[in-house]
C-alpha cells in the first residue's frame, strides 16, 4: 500500500488544503513540479516580514521594537543590494530561464515589488504612528531635517556626510556627491 505524504504551503493551516502525494509518483515528477517549490526571494521576504511583525508587537519593550525595525530595514537594504540586483541582471540579459518554482526573473521581480511596497508602507506607518510617538513619551525626540532650524539642518547634513555616509556602499559609487560635500 502506498504511503501518503502531506504537503502544505507556507503559512497555511496543515489541516486545510492538504495534497496527498502517492509514493508511486516518480521522483522526477515530484522534483520537477514547480508547485512543490517556493521562490527563494519571496520566501526571504516572508522571513523579513516576521522580523517586521516583531517590531509591531506591543508586548516587546520599546527599544527592542526599534531594534527589530532597524534589523528589518538593514535586511531589506542587503536584499536589494544582492538579490534584487541579481534578478535585474537576469532581466537585462533577457534570459528565458525560470526557477524551480516556475517563475521567470521578471515575474519574480514584479512579485518582489508588490510585497516590498506593502512591507515598506507598514514599516513607515509603524515608525511614524507608533514608535516615534512612544519614543517621544520616553524623552527621545526624533526630528526630520525639515523640522530643524536651517543652521542646525545644514550642520546635521555635514556630520552625516563626513561620518555616516562614508560607511555606506553608495560612498564608493558617488564621486559627484563627495565633491559637493567636501
pLDDT over threshold 90, residue 168? no
Residues 125 and 156 in one domain: no
The structural domain count of the chain equals 3
- 18 and 46 share a domain? no
What is the CATH classification number for the domain harbouring 51? 1.20.58.310
Domain ranges, residue 152:
143-182
Residue pair 175/182 in contact by the 8 Å Cβ criterion: no
**Residue 110 and residue 96 in one domain:** yes
Tell whether the model's pLDDT for residue 167 goes beyond 70.
no
Q: Are 61 and 131 in the same domain? A: yes
pTM of the complete model: 0.66
Q: Cell 564608493 belongs to which residue?
A: 172
Same structural domain, 60 and 100: yes
Q: Is the predicted pLDDT of residue 37 greater than 70, yes or no?
A: no
Answer yes or no: do 152 and 138 share one domain: no
Q: Per-residue confidence at 149, pLDDT binned at 50, 70, 90?
A: confident
| Cβ contact 43:79 at 8 Å | no
Residues 137 and 148 reside in one and the same domain: no
Residues 85 and 108 sit within 8 Å (Cβ to Cβ): no
State how far the Cα of 50 lies from the Cα of 38, in Å rounded to an integer.
17
Give me the phi and psi of 83, to 5 degrees please: -75, -45
Shared domain check, 165 and 108: no
Domain check: are 32 and 21 in the same one? yes
**Is the domain of 130 the same as that of 147?**
no
Mean per-residue pLDDT of the chain: 77
DSSP notation for the chain: -PPEEEE--TTS-TTSSPEEEETTS-HHHHHH-GGG---HHHHHHHHHHHHHHHHH-TTS-HHHHHHHHHHHHHHHHHHIIIIIHHHHHHHHTT---B-TTS-BHHHHHHHHHHHHHHHHHHHHHHIIIIIHHHHHHTT-----GGGS-HHHHHHHHHHIIIIIGGGSTHHHH-HHHHHHH-
Shared-domain flag, residues 88 and 137: yes
Indicate whether 2 pLDDT > 80. Answer: no
Q: Identify whether residues 175 and 103 lie together within a single domain.
A: no
Amino acid at each position: 500500500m502506498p504511503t501518503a505524504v502531506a504537503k502544505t504551503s507556507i503559512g497555511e493551516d496543515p489541516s486545510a488544503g492538504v495534497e496527498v502525494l502517492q509514493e508511486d509518483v516518480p521522483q522526477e515528477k515530484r522534483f520537477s513540479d514547480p508547485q512543490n517549490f517556493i521562490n527563494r526571494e519571496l520566501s526571504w521576504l516572508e522571513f523579513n516580514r516576521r522580523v517586521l511583525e516583531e517590531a509591531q508587537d506591543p508586548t516587546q519593550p520599546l527599544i527592542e521594537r526599534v531594534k527589530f525595525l532597524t534589523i528589518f530595514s538593514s535586511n531589506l537594504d542587503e536584499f536589494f543590494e544582492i538579490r534584487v540586483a541579481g534578478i535585474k541582471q537576469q532581466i537585462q540579459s533577457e534570459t528565458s530561464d525560470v526557477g524551480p518554482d516556475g517563475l521567470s526573473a521578471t515575474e519574480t521581480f514584479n512579485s518582489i515589488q508588490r510585497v516590498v511596497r506593502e512591507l515598506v508602507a507598514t514599516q513607515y506607518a509603524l515608525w511614524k504612528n507608533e514608535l516615534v510617538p512612544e519614543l517621544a513619551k520616553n524623552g527621545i525626540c526624533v526630528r526630520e531635517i525639515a523640522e530643524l532650524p536651517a543652521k542646525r539642518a545644514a550642520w546635521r547634513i555635514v556630520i552625516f556626510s563626513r561620518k555616516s555616509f562614508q560607511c555606506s556602499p553608495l560612498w564608493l559609487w558617488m564621486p559627484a556627491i563627495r565633491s559637493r560635500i567636501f
